């Protein structure tokens, strides 16, 4: 229930009745001929009776308050008007009553964040309210303080019908408008997995190569957040842009999808000619990303393409795909890389946490002899032997001693 602290004596009953949805009680209170002070009384959040009635969608109460002269332009503490409240709640009739009164102020009135009534309706997906506001001339290009438009809000929420209404209004503006982060409507739709909105924006010619402030494209954003259908829609459009585009870390779409393990998209990118040997800012390849993340199927897809380069390729710290898989204890990836001929001796700089997984994989495959040429650091010898002894693994201890780790 709304707090009525500070309201005049006749106001608490009116505000409380509206808040709890008691239309009859609110109309009864209004029938007593409230004073102007009562009409403009506010609750703890700065809401007037008219604001509360619009927020709740109580059309009869809104109409009666307007008849009695309630201020339709009054704003609550954050700058929202009664019209914004009606738009946010999707209350078309309440919004109509306010707009037809001729006293609801400018359609372009803004709250502290720069949001208009049209923005609120688009954000919540209220297509009927959006349509009516557009008919009355609401500015579809208006931006809030962070640069976001009503179309971006609709794309972010996946509200296709609202997006359609905005784009068909001829006042929607540039599809490539960006917010403060450099994100377009297409980027926001793709990043949130709204495939239907993505497809419609693509059909209208939205730029698939546009990047946000971090250098991320819509395709990269869809992949990073696991929205595979949105990624496939972008890829199948024939306008997915430069497959070798890179974000601020030098990662391509293929790198990101390999890191996440989305095999289907990995295969699609490879079919389209994505460079499997492309290096990130830290000189890592897509195969290294898959190995580090333990993504066996993605690694298999990259390896079977014949285009992922040398298994012994190293990142800027000298680490190979084999090393990275060992470091994270991804035994299945380790085993596959060893089967394909990855050289454990070339995985130099092995740290103690990578030693045991590498031993486990080699033992499981019967490839123990392949570790005989490793240059074991004295401390790592002791660690390997200590682990074998602590696990009471006599066979492993004997093998370690046989290859000179003693």
pLDDT tens digit sequence for 188-199 = 999 999 999 999
Gap between the Cα atoms of 244 and 340, Å rounded: 27
Could you tell me the pLDDT band of residue 21, with boundaries at 50, 70 and 90? confident
User: Could you tell me the CA-to-CA distances from 198 to 29, 121, 171 in Å, in that order?
Assistant: 50, 20, 20
pLDDT tens digit sequence for 5-19 = 444 435 677 888 888
Q: What is the pLDDT of residue 382?
A: 45
Q: What is the pLDDT of residue 68?
A: 87
Burial call 175-196: b when 16+ CB within 10 Å, e when fewer: bebbbeeebbbbbbbbbbbbbb
pLDDT tens digit sequence for 305-327 = 887 778 888 899 888 898 888 88
Residue 281 contacts residue 292 (beta carbons within 8 Å): no
Q: What is the pLDDT of residue 33?
A: 63
Instruction: Give the N- to C-terminal CA distance of the chain in Å, as an integer.
Output: 76
Gap between the Cα atoms of 235 and 245, Å rounded: 14
Residues 6+ apart with CB under 8 A from 278: 244, 252, 254, 255, 285, 286
Gap between the Cα atoms of 124 and 150, Å rounded: 10
Catalogue all structural domains in the chain, each as residue range(s) with its CATH number: 1-105 (1.25.40.20)
Which DSSP letter does residue 79 get?
S
Question: Based on C-alpha coordinates, what's the Rg of the chain?
Answer: 32
Name the pTM for this structure: 0.80
Could you tell me the pLDDT band of residue 361, with boundaries at 50, 70 and 90? low
pLDDT tens digit sequence for 50-90 = 999 999 999 999 999 998 888 888 888 889 999 999 999 99
């Amino acid at each position: 229930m709304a707090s009525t602290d500070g309201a005049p004596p006749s106001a608490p009953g009116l505000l409380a009745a509206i808040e709890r949805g008691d239309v009859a009680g609110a109309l009864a209170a209004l029938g007593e001929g409230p004073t102007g002070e009562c009409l403009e009384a506010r609750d703890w959040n700065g809401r007037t009776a008219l604001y509360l009635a619009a927020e709740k969608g109580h059309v009869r109460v809104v109409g009666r308050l307007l008849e009695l002269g309630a201020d339709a332009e009054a704003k609550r503490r954050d700058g929202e008007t009664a019209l914004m409240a009606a738009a946010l709640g999707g209350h078309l009739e309440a919004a109509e009553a306010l707009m037809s009164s001729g006293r609801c102020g400018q359609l372009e009135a803004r709250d502290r964040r720069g949001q208009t009534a049209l923005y609120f309706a688009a954000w919540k997906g209220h297509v009927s309210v959006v349509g009516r506001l557009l008919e009355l001339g609401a500015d579809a290009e208006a931006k809030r303080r962070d640069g976001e438009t009503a179309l971006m809000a609709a794309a972010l929420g996946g509200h296709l019908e609202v997006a359609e209404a905005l784009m068909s209004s001829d006042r929607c503006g540039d599809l490539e408008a960006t917010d403060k982060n450099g994100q377009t409507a297409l980027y926001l739709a793709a990043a949130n997995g709204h495939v239907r909105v993505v497809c419609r924006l693509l059909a209208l010619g939205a730029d698939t190569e546009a990047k946000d402030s971090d250098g991320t494209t819509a395709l990269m954003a869809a992949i990073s957040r696991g929205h595979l259908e949105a990624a496939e829609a972008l890829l199948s459009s024939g306008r997915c842009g430069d497959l070798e585009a890179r974000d601020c870390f030098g990662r391509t779409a293929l790198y990101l999808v390999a890191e996440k393990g989305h095999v289907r998209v990995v295969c699609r990118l490879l079919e389209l000619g994505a460079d499997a040997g492309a290096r990130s800012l830290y000189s890592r390849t897509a195969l290294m990303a898959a190995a580090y993340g333990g993504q066996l199927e993605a690694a298999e897809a990259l390896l079977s393409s014949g285009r992922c380069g040398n298994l012994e390729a190293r990142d800027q710290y000298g680490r190979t795909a084999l090393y990275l898989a060992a470091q994270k204890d991804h035994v299945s990836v380790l085993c596959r890389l060893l089967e394909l001929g990855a050289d454990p001796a070339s995985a130099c700089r092995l740290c103690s946490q990578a030693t045991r997984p590498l031993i486990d994989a080699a033992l499981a495959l019967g490839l123990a002899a392949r570790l005989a040429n490793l240059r074991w650091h004295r401390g790592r010898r002791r660690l390997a032997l200590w682990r074998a002894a602590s696990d009471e693994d006599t066979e492993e201890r004997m093998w370690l001693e046989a290859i000179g780790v003693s």
